[in-house]
Amino acid sequence: MKAQFLKTIRNSVKHWYIPLIVGLLFAGLGIYALMSPVESFLALAFMFSLSFIFSGIGEITFAMANKDEMDNWGWNLAFGIMTFLIGILLMSKPEISLVTLSFYIGFLMLFRSMMGISYALELKQYGVSDWTKLMIVSVLGVVFSFILIWNPVLAGMTIIFWIGLTLIVVGAFSIYLSIKLKKLNAMPGKISDELKSRYDAIKKEMHDEMNKT
């Protein structure tokens, strides 16, 4: 049986706007990075730390609120914890180097992009026709993350550019996902009680069949 992205037959997604806020925060941070000279690196690192702390708290809240509605809520929880911890780490080490910063951000965004690929595949299973857009954005995020992690020499003096571009792409993923969550959020209200009851009966029948000795 295919895993479902959301159990929207019965339940609505809670706080669908949190990924939107996180996405806008990442995208805004990426634009800020592109517009900031290397000389303002300390200010940039401080902005990153604050943004990651708030984003991590938001992702953790979203994951815990939807653990009964989303099959893969653990992805969001793990990403939220990682984002929060990296934010704390950056806050505690303001003297961190540019290359080290690119490694932390690259690793974090790589995890986020892999999560995006997983979500894209599950949106496909769920019947969302334009799942390929999320897949393309997530794959781009993986590519940019690899540049930051495994080839900082290639990034060279343009490392801030790659950081900014990666954050923008990952932010676009969160914004797109939130739009889809909002649409799926309205689905339970459009489904009749009879269909919901039939859905529950089928689930129970399948569960009983799978647990027969």
Q: For residue range 156-205, what is the model confidence (pLDDT) as tens digits?
A: 557 778 788 888 988 888 888 888 777 766 655 454 555 445 555 555 55
| Domain assignment present for 60 | yes
What range defines the domain where residue 194 resides?
17-210
pLDDT at 84 (0 to 100): 92
C-alpha span between 61 and 18 (Å, rounded): 9
State the pLDDT confidence band at 81, using cuts at 50, 70 and 90.
very high
C-alpha span between 185 and 14 (Å, rounded): 8
Q: What is the pTM of this model?
A: 0.70
Q: Is the pLDDT of residue 135 over 50?
A: yes
- Contact in structure between 29 and 167 (CB atoms under 8 Å): yes
pLDDT at 159 (0 to 100): 75
Q: Is the pLDDT of residue 7 over 70?
A: no
CB atoms within 10 A of CB 193: 7
Count: domains in the chain: 1
Mean pLDDT computed over 17-38: 84
| Domain assignment present for 4 | no
Residue with tokens 């295919």: 2
| Domain assignment present for 8 | no
State the pLDDT confidence band at 106, using cuts at 50, 70 and 90.
confident
| Domain assignment present for 198 | yes
| Domain assignment present for 178 | yes
Q: Is the pLDDT of residue 114 over 60?
A: yes
Mean pLDDT computed over 29-34: 86
Q: Is the pLDDT of residue 26 over 80?
A: yes
| Domain assignment present for 1 | no
| Spatial CB neighbours of 74, under 8 Å, sequence gap ≥ 6 | 63
State the pLDDT confidence band at 39, using cuts at 50, 70 and 90.
low
| Domain assignment present for 78 | yes
- Contact in structure between 55 and 25 (CB atoms under 8 Å): yes
pLDDT at 24 (0 to 100): 92
Q: Is the pLDDT of residue 11 over 60?
A: no
Mean pLDDT computed over 4-15: 54
| Spatial CB neighbours of 47, under 8 Å, sequence gap ≥ 6 | 29, 32
pLDDT at 57 (0 to 100): 92
- Contact in structure between 121 and 89 (CB atoms under 8 Å): no
Mean pLDDT computed over 113-120: 83
- Contact in structure between 3 and 71 (CB atoms under 8 Å): yes
| Domain assignment present for 186 | yes
Q: Is the pLDDT of residue 153 over 80?
A: no
